[in-house]
Each structure stands twice: as structure tokens, then as C-alpha cells.
Amino acid sequence: MKQTPDIKPTATALLVAPAAILMFGVFVLPFLFLVVLSFWSQVPGSVGIVPGFTLANYARIIGDGYYLGGLWTTLWLSGLVTLLCLVLALPLARWIVLYAKRSKGLLIGLCILPLVCGALLPTLGLVNLLSPLGFINGALKSMGLIKTSLPLLGNIAGVSIGLVQAFLPLMILPLISTIERIPHDYEKAAMSLGATRLVVWRRVLLPLMLPGIVAGSLLVFCASLTAFVTPQILGQGKVVTFASLAYQQAAMVLDWPFASALGMVMLLFLALAGLLGALVSRGLGRRT
Amino acid sequence: MTSRFSKAMLLAAVLAILLFLLAPILVLILSAFDSGNVFRFPPRGLSLRWFEAAFNHSEYRSSLWISTVLGLLSTAIAVGLASLAAFGLVRGKPSYRLAMEVLLLAPLTLPLVVWAIALLSIYAQLGINGTLPGLILAHVTITMPFAARIMIATFGEIDPNLEAAAKSLGASPWQVVRRITLPLALPGLLSSTAIAFLVSFNDVVVTTLIAGAGWITFPVRTFSRLRTEGIDPTTIAIGAMIVAFTILVIVFGQRLFQLSRRL
Amino acid sequence: MKRIACYAALTAVSLFPCLPALAQDYSGRTLVVGTWGGDIERLLREHVAGPLETKTGAKVEFLLGGSGDRMSKMVAERNNPTMDVTFQNIYEAPAALKEGLVVAPDAALVPTAANVWAGMNDGCYAMSLVGLGIAYSKALFPEAPEWADLWKAEFKGKMAYAPYPSSEGDGMLAVAARIAGVNEHDPDAAFAKLAELGAPVLSYSSLDEVFTLMDAGEIAAAPMISGYVLSNLGNYEGIGFVFPKDPGPVLVRDMVCQVANSPEPELAQMFIDLALSVETQTAYAKELNFGPTNSKVELTEEEAGRVINTPEEVASLLQLDWSYVIEQRSDWTDRWNKQILGQ
């Protein structure tokens, strides 16, 4: 159902134009260069590039389990981080909206605090905490819960913890504004009609919070996909993400064509996933 | 489940999550007081030497200043452009809305290192590599997805009937924006400003490649010695001070401007 | 007589303003130097940038990052370079020269380069000499280990490596090849031998992390480059560093390059001249344990013992065929990712 617009098309175009021009000039143009570059090749061992169409880069990515594995790790790590952010942000957002009228600013500030001194410093602090010699393992050992240190670094666990801490604000802020718009009474009304808590959540709250959930999830997912510094440090080189592969190929091996191809492959997957998501939501929209 | 009990449970969850979030920050603050030469936690001795060093180190000061200025300029531009575009997309409902949203979100879909190298090549062709405007444009681009997404959600949630009602009561479009739209959009504007600023402030990969000499930001400086020499404890003291400063700003913002009520 | 004295005085006074002009005035100009952050930046500011700024009135700005970032920058900015001087690794310098990204070393333009030991100015000017040795945990190695000791069964899976590609990684591969009886030209054997050490505990992004774990015995050893490690030993009681003998440590050289077509070639040459000077090189040796390339540097016996500073010492080091190694970079990166890290 196409809704009627509230402002005229020319006004719309004028409002949208500056951002569009900027993104086109600064992002799309280099991007197009990268697309072309992905079909070229590097002179082995040199920084020279050989223009000339070849599918070798793509063949190498698709044919090699290593790169596909890296793509898979990146996708499911990002999905995991998004889910964890959602699970943790919901209670926080609910509390802030429902019960923390006066300390709202302080609480939101506390959520953002991990990022204000730079993503690097809290990550190093986290390394210290999660280290086999660190506080967490030490505490668990002294409580007698474990004998040998839990490996919390150099694997998905450590990386996801770091990314959740970094991206929680991205989930909390949209959730807060969405939850605020849900009238209080809906919940009470539903419960007074006899719905259990679970039903209230499933049938009333979650659907109403969906715009905020979608906005937050999209941001957290995409930010996790391209995060580099935090996964590199917490993953200790053992968690292979597409961002770290791209950095290795682009800035260390200096094989720019191949690095571009890596970027394109990820983009392709995202485009397919986005398309799938759009089809699914349209299908769902038609049913409800 | 009584509502008091569920409220207590919620509070317990909130406190646990906050502890989880802030644990690394606590580590940092405490180790800033370490008397040793390297980053260590728990600290072996207490001293203020790294705070002193932070004040004496003019390069960190200038890099912090550069990060802040760059962040503020990029954020202002990004949030401004994103808000205009978001308003247009949400209220105008053009047929190209989805394409435009994808365009605004696009920088988040690519590993930024490859894009930065391509951008640098293009800048070099144009002769603007190493300049501040070039760096600002790059930062606006990487913060735009965050600002745009939040502003689109923000305007999407403002009831257009409120604006329509004001208009029907005789308000000019400018008055509608000033009196109805902007105040309602304020929380979203603040969120996107904060997040855009933080994204710009924290960026390492893009800035290392694009920034010219004289525009070395704080994270680039901090990261540049990490592998060869480890973290400079001066940086940790600076980080601790930034955290303290932020908390003070929030508390004062609370008192003076009743921040919570406006959020 | 008085008149002659007058004329002489007048002539002298009128010549006086010319004298400062001979020292060349670069005020308002900026020299851009790309280097690693931390102590190297500090030393360069103190011993090179400071004096240069005083002498010429120009300003020196530093660009910080990894050497790979600087290579990327040089290539991307080829048409319009912003960097004048850049510090690169032993294997990047010849490649940069081959690509025409840097100016070939020339003692006519940089006088102190003539004092550098023969043959070292390969691609760019040689700045420092360091060696890849073994940083080890004293708890696990009561005596300083030799390379071969690392392959003992009890240390399997307890190594730490720098992210690859890196000179540490290539050096370690060369050592593994030699232990296996071949050299770096046989990558199959080299990788197979290195893989015997097991997957590493970590690929470190931060020196603090490796050292904390090594201090506590969680990491047995790591191939590391001498300079910074030696400087840091005082902070960690449980860590030692050794230059092994059989094969010897791997030679690693920091190079300083003048970028081609850069905005300030003369200032760049002056900078490099000062960087290679006895004063700067001595400071590097004393404070950072980086071996001087300038043959005229004199060190105390104690200092000389910690650094590599004579051609004889250099001869005892393992020198890689870096141009061959560079060609294999892409292939070896793949192999490292899969065979070493992916175990």
C-alpha cells in the first residue's frame, strides 16, 4: 500500500541530494574502482598491478575453503554479537524507560562509556580480564569452579564479548526510543485480559518494539562485520574474519586486487541476505 | 510473579549487564595508577606518574585535540546531512527510498581498509590527499550509516499527524520544523551525534591511511606502537581522565540541563 | 689607513646579511616523515627533527603507522606523494626502489651515507641493524635456548608469533628451513618444519600481552627482534633474550628512504643525513639497542655487546634472500594462515 507523501517530490529530492552526492562521490566512486580492481591481478611479490580481466581472484576465494570459512566465521560471529546485544540491551532499555526517569542520562552515559576513550583501551583492559592469568580465570579458580584456565581469548568467545561491549550502545539507543513510544497501558491491558507474561512479550511488546530492534540489529550486525581492531586483538590472530583477511591482503601482502575481491564477495553475500530478508518480510507482511 | 519481584529481577539484570560493560574500564582506571613502566593489572604499586606524564606529553594533547576537532566537524556534517536525507525519505516516501537507504548504509558493508586505499588513490589523482577536508569527508562517510539509520528511525516514529495538525493551525513549514519536529527528534539527534562522534573518534584503519601529517589522531598514535613496544601507560592515564571527564559532563548535564527529561 | 679600515668594515657589514642565507632558509616549509610510533618517533624528534627545524626553519611532521601502511600510501599516492621520508623494512626497500617509489641512495646527496658499512644501502639507506633472536621464558628454559631447542616436544604449541607477513615470520621460516637441512628456497620443507612447533598460543598485536604470558610461563618462546625486547627486559623478570648461534640470529635492517617526487627532496636528504649521523645512531644504540649502521659510531664494550655493530657480526648473521622471499609473499601468507595458524 503506497502511502501519500507529506512533502512534495522536489522538496524530497533537495533534502536527499546533499547526502546522496557526498556518498556517491566519496564512497561509490572508490567502490567502483574496487570493483574493477577485483578483476585485475597483482604482479607476484611486487606492488605492481596488471590490468586485464581475470576471474582468478574470485576463483581463489570460492575454491578455497579457507576464505569461505572466514566468510562463514564473520557472518555467524556478527549474528551472534547481534543476538547477544539484543538480549542484553532489552533489560537495560526497559529499565531506563520504565524506572529510571531521573538517572536516564547517567545510565545512557554509562552504556557509552566503553567507547569514549577509544575502542582500543577497553579492548586491552578486556584482554587483561580474560587472559588465562587474568581476573576472571583467577576468580573462578579461587572459587574452585575450574582447575585450568578457560580459554576466553583467541576464540569466538573473547571476540564476541569485546564486540558486544563495543556495540551495545548501537542497540540500546534505538531500543530506548522505540520502547518509549509504547504506551504503558498496553502491557497492563494485556495482562488484565489474562495474558501471561510470555504472551504479552510475544504478541504485544516484541511486535511493537520491532522497528527499534531492526534498526539496532542492522547497525550492530554491519558494524561487527567490518570491525577490525577489536577482533584482531581479542582473536589473537586465531579467529579469521573477513576484515582481518582484507587487511592482511591489502596492507601487508599489498595484493589489492585480491583484497578488493574479498570485499566484493562479502558484499554479494550481504546483498543476497538482504534480498532474502526483504522477500521474507514482504511475505510475512502479506500474511498478517 | 509480583511486579515488585520482577522489578527487582530486572534491576539485578541491569546491574549485572552494567558491570559486564564497565569491567574493562575499571581495569583501565585502576592500572592508570600503576607505578611500573608497563601496562599491568592488578597494579603493583600506586603512583600518579602516568597522569603527570600525560600532562607533559604535548603530542598526545595535540592528537586528542585533533581527534576532537575532526570528530566534531565530521559529526556535524554527517548528522546534518543524514537528518535532511532521513526527513526527506520518511516524509517524502519517494520510490527510491530503499536504494537511498542502501546507499547511506553502504560503507558498513565493506572492509574499510580496501575502500580507504582506493579513496587515497583517487585523492592523489585530485591532489587533495593528506588535506583536512579529505580526511573530514572520509570520516563523514564512515559515520553516515550510523547517523542515517538512527535519524530514519527517529523521523519514522514521529507521528506525522502532529506536523499536519500544526500546519492546519496555520504554522509555516519552518515553524513546524522548529516547534514540533526538532524537539521531538531531539533524542534521536543526540543519539546519532554521540554515536557518530564515537565512531569517528575511534577509527584507526581509515585515518592511518588517509590522514596527512599534522592530523595524527589519538587512536592512530596509540595503535602505532602497540605491536613493537606495547601500550604507553600515558595513554591509559589519558583514557582514565577521559572517562572521568565524561562522567562529570553527564552528571553536570543532568544537574544543569535536566538532561534526562530531554532525552 | 683609516679609510681602508672603514671600507673594510663597510664591506664586512654589507656581506653579513648574506651569511645566514647560505645556511638556507626553509621557513614555512614542512617535511613529512613516516615512521613507527613510540620511542623511534621520540628519538627522531629529539635528534633529527629538532636540529633540522632549528637549522632550516622548516617544520617536521610525523606520520605514524606500520611499514605496510606506508608502502600502501606510497603506492596509492604515487602521482602526488605527501611523504618525503619513510622508514621501511629490509625487504620493502628494494621493492620500493624497483617500483620507482623511492630515490636510490646517493652519497653525493646524503654525505653521511658514505659512512654506512658497505653493501647495506640496498634500495634505501640502512638505518639500524637488529637481529631476530629468541625471547624466552626463564621458567621453561633455565639456560638460553638454541633454535633447535624450540623443537623439543614439551614446548609444542607454546610459541608466539607476530602477525604474518612480517620479517619475524620470514626469519623464523628461514631458521626452520636451516634446521631441516635446506634453506628458504624450499618452502615445503620450511613450512613443514615450522608446523612441527604446533599452532602458536597467539599472534600478538600488543607486546604487553606476549610478555605478560611469557613472564608467567604460558608462552615458552617467541622469535623476536632484538631492539625493543632488550629495552623491555628490565620490566619483566621472567623473560630472557638470546642471539642463538646455530644458525645465528636473522639479520633485519631498518631502512630510511627518500620518497620519489616528494614535495621537499632537499629537506628529505638533510633529514636522512642527520638520521645516519653518529649522534643519532649512538642514541639509537644506547637507548633502543638498535645497532648503528654508521661505521664511525663508537660504543662502550657493554653497549656493543648488546647490539650488532660491526661487519664481522653481520657476517655471522643469517641473511635471507629477501627478493626471493618477497616474491613468494602471497603464497607464503596463504600457507602461514593454513599450515601454521590453522592447525
CATH of residue A114: 1.10.3720.10
Q: Least CB-CB distance to A251: which of C72, C166, C212?
A: C72
CB of A46 within 8 Å of any CB in chain C? yes
Q: Are strands C291-292 and C125-137 parallel, antiparallel or unpaired?
A: antiparallel
| Interior/surface letters C78-111, b for 16+ CB within 10 angstroms, e for the rest | bebbbbbbbbbbbbbbbbbbbbebbbebeeebbe
Which residues of chain C are modeled with pLDDT < 70? 1-24
Contact flag A46-C95 (C-beta cutoff 8 Å): yes
- How far apart, in Å, are the Cα atoms of C82 and each of A17, B224, C100, C103? 32, 19, 16, 15
Question: Could you tell me if residue A9 is inside a domain?
Answer: no
Give me the residues of A, 149-188, that contact B with CB < 8 A. 165, 168-170, 173-174, 176-178, 181
Interchain CB distance below 8 Å, C330 and A44: yes
Structure confidence at residue C20 (pLDDT): 45
Residues of A in contact with C163 (CB under 8 A): 232, 237, 248, 252
- Show residues of chain A in contact with C91, CB under 8 Å: none
Beta carbons of A26 and B21 less than 8 Å apart: no
Q: What is the mean pLDDT of chain A?
A: 87
Neighboring chains of A (3 or more beta-carbon pairs < 8 A): B, C
Chain B residues with CB-CB distance to C206 below 8 A: 226-227, 230-231
Query: Domain limits at A245?
Result: 68-269
Residue of A50, A252, A255 to mutate for C, most C C-beta atoms under 10 A: A252
Sequence spans of domains, chain B: 57-224, 231-263
Mutate to test the interface with C, among A33, A124, A236 (most CBs of C within 10 A): A236
Give me the residue label for grid cell 564477495: A265
Tens digit of each residue's pLDDT, chain B (263 residues): 567 888 888 899 999 999 999 999 999 999 999 888 888 888 888 889 899 888 888 889 999 999 999 999 999 999 999 999 999 999 888 989 989 999 999 998 889 999 999 999 999 999 898 899 999 999 999 999 999 999 998 888 888 888 888 888 888 878 888 888 888 888 889 889 999 999 999 999 999 999 988 899 999 999 998 888 888 899 999 999 999 998 888 888 777 766 555 55
The pLDDT tens digits of the residues spanning A38-96 come to 999 888 777 778 888 899 999 999 988 899 999 999 999 999 999 999 999 999 998 88
Cα first-last separation, chain B: 31
CA distance C288 to chain A (A): 25
pLDDT tens figures, A214-260: 888 988 999 999 899 999 999 998 999 999 999 999 999 999 999 99
Confidence of residue A288 (pLDDT cuts 50, 70, 90): very low
Cis bond upstream, residue C247 (ω within 30): yes
What are the CB-based long-range contacts (under 8 Å, 24+) for B16-19? B17/A88, B17/A91, B17/A92, B18/A92, B18/A107, B18/A110, B18/A111
Residue A32 lies in a domain: no
Q: What is the pLDDT of residue C12?
A: 54
Q: Mapping DSSP to helix (H, G, I), strand (E, B) and coil, where does residue C286 land?
A: helix
pLDDT at A187 over 90: no
* Percent of chain A clearing pLDDT 70 (strictly above): 96
C254 forms bridges with which residues in the sheet? C128
How far apart are alpha carbons A232 and A239 in whole angstroms?
A: 8
Percent helix, strand and coil across chain B, each rounded to 5?
Answer: 80, 0, 20
C216 and A232 in contact by Cβ < 8 A? no
Which chain B residue is nearest to residue C84, measuring alpha carbons? B213
Total structural domains in chain A?
A: 1
Torsion angle in degrees (nearest 10) through CA of C302, C308, C311, C312: 70
Which residue type, as a one-letter code, is found at position A266? M
Q: Find chains touching chain C: ≥3 CB pairs under 8 Å.
A: A, B
Complex ipTM: 0.89
Any long-range contacts for C47-55 (C-beta under 8 Å, 24+ apart)? Answer: C47/C274, C47/C279, C47/C280, C47/C283, C48/C271, C48/C274, C48/C275, C48/C280, C49/C271, C51/C274, C52/C267, C52/C270, C52/C271, C52/C274, C55/C23, C55/C270
Q: Do C37 and B230 touch (CB under 8 A)?
A: no
The CATH number of the domain covering residues in B57-224? 1.10.3720.10
**The C-alpha cell of C323 is what?**
627478493
Chains contacting B (3+ CB pairs below 8 angstroms): A, C
**Ordered structural domains, chain C, with CATH:** 24-128+253-309 (3.40.190.10), 130-251+318-341 (3.40.190.10)
Asked if the C-beta of A238 comes within 8 angstroms of chain C's C-beta atoms, the answer is: yes
How far, in Å, CA of C158 to CA of C151, rounded? Answer: 10
- From chain B, the residues in CB contact with C30 under 8 A are 213-214
- Report if residue A12 sits inside a domain: no
pLDDT of residue C290: 93
Q: What span, in angstroms and rounded, lies between the C-alpha atoms of B22 and B24?
A: 6
Which residues of chain C does B220 touch, with a Cβ-Cβ cutoff of 8 Å?
64-65
In the structure grid, which three cell numbers stand for residue B228, read together? Answer: 613493537
Residue of A nearest to C329 (CA): A45
Q: How many CB atoms lie within 10 A of CB B143?
A: 28
